[in-house]
Structure 1
Amino acid sequence: MKFSVFTVMTPELTPEELVAALKEYGYDGVEWRMKDVPESAVKEAPSFWGNNRCSIGESASDWELGRIREWTRQRGLSVVGVTPYLTAGDLEGTERVMRVAKKLGARQIRVGVPWYGPGAKYDELFSQGVEYLRGVEALSGKYAVKGLVETHHGTIAPSVGLAYRLVDGLDPDRVGVLLDPGNMVHEGYEAYRMGMELLGPYLAHVHVKNACWVRRDGGKSWHVSWCSLADGIVDWKRVLADLKSVGYNGYLCFEDFSDVQPSRVVLKQNIEYLRSLL
């Protein structure tokens, strides 16, 4: 298995600073966040979803993309993927991201999944999701870039089983699943190995982070909080053993939201921790 970083977790670093750090700490690749920084946030302190300096703009020029690709190649790193924030059904936006991925040399992107909330009807959202993924499958054939459905709380794919239901019957060379055990602390937990066995060839990528349940409102209720890899509910030693058991040899991509130490410290500590477990 190889190590990469999703750049959402390093908001205070520039792309050039990040790839230098990844080379120094022994990473193999990088997964670029694709999102415009809101104009209102540019002067704010760096943050994951606000002034994230390690993002690719949605309207990045070919020159900008070329610089990022060159910085990455010079450090001997692979561009693992491009991760935008697409809406399910937005095939025009999906194609735009696939074109960016192609220019960067990436082989996969994260695609949209319908959100589930009050007033939603699962059957309708499922039909919309499947129709969209059929379009993603066709675009993947055109650009040779795979579309990934992420297991994510709040969507109709919070668990591996429900993500599998969305992709079942589609070409696993064109559409796959991004397994995120950290998200499954919020919602969607299943036995890890069982889910991996269910996915089979659809298991395409893994995000690495952790979370825990904590009390709030004076101890009257619970909510999920992001935490360091070693301190959360996800047993990463178990997850890694299960990944080995099903023959997974792809990327382990860090997406740490613990926000307790500077990014460079977290980058170094995370890869050392996972290596110790392996």
Structure 2
Amino acid sequence: MKLSVFTVVTPDLTPEELAQAAKEAGIEGIEWRYKEIPAEAQEEPPSFWRRNLCSIDPRSTEEELDRFAKAASGHGLRSLSVMPYLTPGDLEGTEKAMKAAKRLGASAIRVGVPGYDRTKNYNELYEEEIAYLHGVEELARRYKVKGLVETHHRTIAPSAGLTHRLVSRFDPAAVGVLYDPGNMIHEGYENFRLGLELLGPYLAHVHVKNTGWKPESRRENGKREWSSYWEPVSGGIVDWKQVLADLAAVGYDGYLGLEDFSGTFGSRELLQVYAQDMKELLAGL
């Protein structure tokens, strides 16, 4: 297994700075955040979700995209994927992201998945997503760029089981799964090895982060409320030693992509700590 970084977690680094820091840490691949900076955020301090200096603007020209490709290749790194925040059903936006990935030499993009908040029936959302994924599959074959469905809380794909239900009718060469154990602590937990065995050929990429739960105030009836929050990779509920063993058991040899939202470390230190911790765990397999 190899290491990569999703640039959402290095918002204060330019593409060139990120590539250099990743190379120095021993990280081999980059997942480029694909999202514009809001006009009102241009003067804000760098942040994960707003003024992220390591993001590709979807309005970028081919020449502007080449900057990101060169930042990676110039440091001997691979551009793995383009990571947009697509609305389910947006095939125009999906195609545009695939074109960007193709220009970068990346092999995958993240596709849209409906959120779930009890306001619309799951079965309706499921059928809408299946119709969208048919279009994703066609585009993936055309551009040779795989569409990835991420296991993510507060969507109709919070677990490996429900994600597999979405992708199982499609060609795994065109539609795959971005497996995220950290998200599954918020919602969707299953025994990790069970889920990985179920996903089989659909397992395309893994995100690495961690999550905790903490008690909040008590309700009037005395019952405790709980909330989930982000932890450093080595400090949360996900046992990454076990997850890596489970990944090895199913024959996974792809990338492990850093997506730590805990804010515990600065960007450069985060890359160093992540690479050191993961390499130690991998060496013990």
Report the TM-score, using the length of structure 1 for normalisation: 0.98
Report deviation, 1:218.
6.5
Partner of 2:89, secondary structure, is: coil
1:30 paired with 2:30, answer yes
Tell me what 2:217 maps to.
217
Q: Which amino acid aligns with 1:9?
A: V
The corresponding residue for 2:249 is: 245
Kindly report structure 1 stretches of 4+ aligned residues shifted beyond 6 Å: none
Deviations 1:125-182 (Å, cap 9, x if unpaired)?
A: 0000011001000000100000000000010000000000000110000000000000
Task: Report deviation, 1:105.
Answer: 0.3
**Separation in 2, partners of 1:175, 1:218:** 44
Query: Residues 234-273 of structure 1: matches in 2 within 5 Å?
Result: 234-273=238-277
Q: How far apart are the structure 1 equivalents of 2:174 and 2:18?
A: 29
Structure 1 counterpart of 2:154, one-letter code: G
- How many correspondences in the alignment? 278
SS in 2 for 1:264: helix
| The 10-residue stretch of structure 1 (193-202 or 218-227) with the greater mean CA deviation from structure 2 | 218-227
Matches within 5 A, 1:94-243: 94-217=94-217, 220-243=224-247
Instruction: Provide the residue aligned with 1:50 in structure 2.
Output: 50
Per the TM alignment, residue 217 of structure 1 is displaced from its structure 2 partner at its CA by: 3.0
Paired AA for residue 111 in structure 2: V
Q: Which residue of 2 aligns with 1:92?
A: 92
Q: Distance in 2 between matches of 1:244 and 1:25?
A: 23
How far 1:58 moved relative to its partner?
1.1
Report the counterpart of residue 60 of structure 1 in structure 2: 60
The percentage of aligned residue pairs carrying the same residue is: 56
Cα drift, residue 261 of structure 1: 1.9
How far did residue 216 of structure 1 move? 2.2
SS of equivalent residue, structure 2 residue 184: helix
| 1:19 aligned residue | 19
Cα deviations by residue, 1:190-217 (Å, 9 ceiling, x for unpaired):
0001101000000000000001001223
* Letter in structure 2 aligned against 1:235: D
Measured in 2, the distance between the counterparts of 1:230 and 1:187 equals 19
Letter aligned with residue 98 of structure 2: M
- 1:67-88 deviation line (CA, Å, top 9, x unaligned): 2111211111000100000011
Deviation at 1:221, TM superposition (A): 1.4
* In 1, Cα distance between equivalents of 2:215 and 2:278: 28
Please report the TM-score for the alignment, with normalisation by the length of structure 2.
0.96
Q: Which runs of 5+ in 2 are unaligned?
A: none
Structure 1 match to 2:278: 274
Unmatched 5+ residue regions in structure 1? none
